[in-house]
Amino acid sequence: MFALDLAQILSLLVVLIMFLAPLCFVLWLYIKNRSQTQHSLLRGKYWFLGILRYMIENVGPEFRFYITDDDNDGKPISRIKFVSIVKAAKYLKTLISFGSKRDFSLPGIYLKNSMFPKLESELAVDNSPQIRTRKYTTDKETLFFRYESAQGYRVNPWYLTDEHILTVGPDRESPWKLKGMVGMSAMSYGALGKNAITALSKGIGMAGGSWMNTGEGGLSDYHLSGECDIIFQIGPGLFGVRQDDGQVDWDKLRAKSKIPQVKAFELKLAQGAKIRGGHVEGKKVNLEIAAIRGVQPWNNIDSPSRFPFIGNEDELVDFVSKIQDETGLPVGIKVVIGDGESLDGLCEVMNKTGRGPDFITVDGGEGGTGATYKEMADLIGLPVAQGIVIADNALRKAGLRDKVKLIASGKLHLPEDIVVALCLGADLVNIARGFMISVGCIMAQKCHTNECPVGVATTDPTLERALYIDEKKFRVMNYIITIRAGLFHLAAASGLTTPAQFSRKDLVFKNVGLDVTNCDKIFNEH
């Protein structure tokens, strides 16, 4: 009789399992899908095609981003911009080969170049002392592997000189002075995890001349960890400065103003991607976040769509003035421009009372968010370029432009985006998603689920662990410094000594008929 030894029996079992397991799995899928009642395609004759459809739907965004989309077409951020941010943060460079991928046949805005650009030695720039950072070098790259090494490196900070320092709230007891024009937009602890907030704070602090906005979720120890300048944002939910009954706690607000890193307060009236109150899923509201905000843990947080006690411009100016008087710090407002007259009422009240915000953050409808409704993100709020022009014109018409700084916010990630906003009227620029990418975001678009795979937009301790603070902080710093260097390079090419000198006369618009018009003629200044 034919006998099998143990090894042969095990081999046969392995072969049998390998053959039967897929058949059993397919049979299980068939039975499961035939018995369910929710999806017609899975229940019908072509159930297997239904499975393939859902598989393709699941990987579709990644497939399009990396394979089928043109470099300039991806949304919400194109692949070419995403890669440019990563290269700036990781490799401290923006060099490209062979030429631009911009479609020059389309209408668009261009920066005027000078026949006699400035030499680097002629720039009004403060590059002392140099900053120690870390950047990556690609040693070898093959089809399947990339070999890289991180090196210590000294880099110029690209600060504004004392002559061009930007002062926010010069009439306040404690005005805010800035040697850089780019900072982090409002992103709350809760929307982002503690490792992300810590890495951002440390990187911004190491770069100097920049700032981070707390978002409406209040101030945490993670914001303070990097010793960077901070704008404390107050949303309609008053998180961090509220009493149990939801009213303003002035003792808490004054206490926040005494923290040396807190340089200004900002009242959030609106956000570009959501003209409504903020939303955080309950699964992200851990005990610490709940304590900071003064709410119940593990419950959804929906702040009101506006401050209950602010229903018009007079009440807004009254509240702004009270915070200024109580704290001695500059106070600003964050708005979304809806039409050409959006700020006229506010300017009228400011002229009547002699009081008002020290800065206005203009967020564009293209701005990002962790969670909003699609109909709001797509339809409400003008883009930042139009918004900043309208705001600048309104303040000039009212004779208030010298008293109020303008901060532009909305998909401004790279020097070529930022310089347009500066020319159109902005004094400063806020960036949100660019900073997220610098700290590791891969645009998985799972911010609202608490399942961010790279530990950025999650409070899940297991997922947060993916973000290594002592590595990502250098990428944040590199991103800021690369932007500032790019702005000075563009200023030099335009014949200017500093990006603080940009104005509308430095931009031109080429239309579809190839006619070229100076932007100061298109966007009339009052």
Lowest mean pLDDT, pick from 173-182, 244-253, 330-339: 244-253
- 190 confidence band (pLDDT: 50, 70, 90): confident
Lowest mean pLDDT, pick from 18-32, 171-185, 394-408, 509-523: 18-32
**Residue 4: how many CB atoms within 10 A of its CB?**
10
Strand partners, 517: 509
Q: How high is the mean pLDDT of the chain?
A: 89
**E strands in 90-143:** 108-111, 125-126, 131-141
Lookup: tokens for 219: 């101030």
Type and span of the H or E element at 350: helix 344-353
Q: Round to whole Å and give the CA distance between 103 and 318.
A: 49
Instruction: Give mean pLDDT, residues 505-524.
Output: 88
Lookup: tokens for 229: 């300048």
Lowest mean pLDDT, pick from 55-69, 79-93, 358-372: 55-69
Express each pLDDT in 212-252 by its tens digit: 999 998 999 999 999 999 999 999 999 999 988 888 999 99
Q: For the chain, list the domains and their CATH numbers.
A: 6-67 (no CATH), 122-129+155-522 (3.20.20.70)
Whether 452 and 444 have beta carbons less than 8 Å apart is answered as yes
Q: What is the 3-state secondary structure (H, E, C) of 219-235?
A: CCHHHHCCCCEEEEEEC
Express each pLDDT in 424-451 by its tens digit: 999 999 999 999 999 999 887 888 788 8
Instruction: Give mean pLDDT, residues 488-495.
Output: 98
- The helix/strand/coil state of 181 is coil
What does R_g of the chain's alpha carbons equal in angstroms? 26
Whether 430 and 411 have beta carbons less than 8 Å apart is answered as no
Strongest mean pLDDT among 253-267, 299-313, 354-368: 253-267
- In percent, how much of the chain has pLDDT > 70? 93
pLDDT at 30: 78
pLDDT at 1 over 50: no
Express each pLDDT in 384-399 by its tens digit: 999 999 999 999 999 9
User: Who wins on pLDDT, 55 or 386?
Assistant: 386
Q: What are phi and psi of 185, to 5 degrees?
A: -70, 175
DSSP 284: G
pLDDT at 63 over 90: no
Whether 342 and 335 have beta carbons less than 8 Å apart is answered as yes
pLDDT at 268 over 90: yes
- Write down the pTM of the prediction: 0.87
Whether 432 and 409 have beta carbons less than 8 Å apart is answered as yes
pLDDT at 31 over 70: yes
- Preceding omega of 129 cis (within 30 degrees of 0): yes
- In percent, how much of the chain has pLDDT > 90? 58
Q: Round to whole Å and give the CA distance between 61 and 79.
A: 12
Whether 463 and 427 have beta carbons less than 8 Å apart is answered as no
Lowest mean pLDDT, pick from 438-452, 453-467, 470-484: 438-452
pLDDT at 41 over 60: yes
pLDDT at 64: 67
Whether 364 and 382 have beta carbons less than 8 Å apart is answered as yes
Residue environment code for 69-88, b if the CB has 16+ CB neighbours within 10 A, otherwise e = eeeeebeebbbbbbebbbbb
Strongest mean pLDDT among 162-166, 335-339, 447-451: 162-166
Instruction: Give mean pLDDT, residues 305-332.
Output: 96
pLDDT at 54 over 80: no
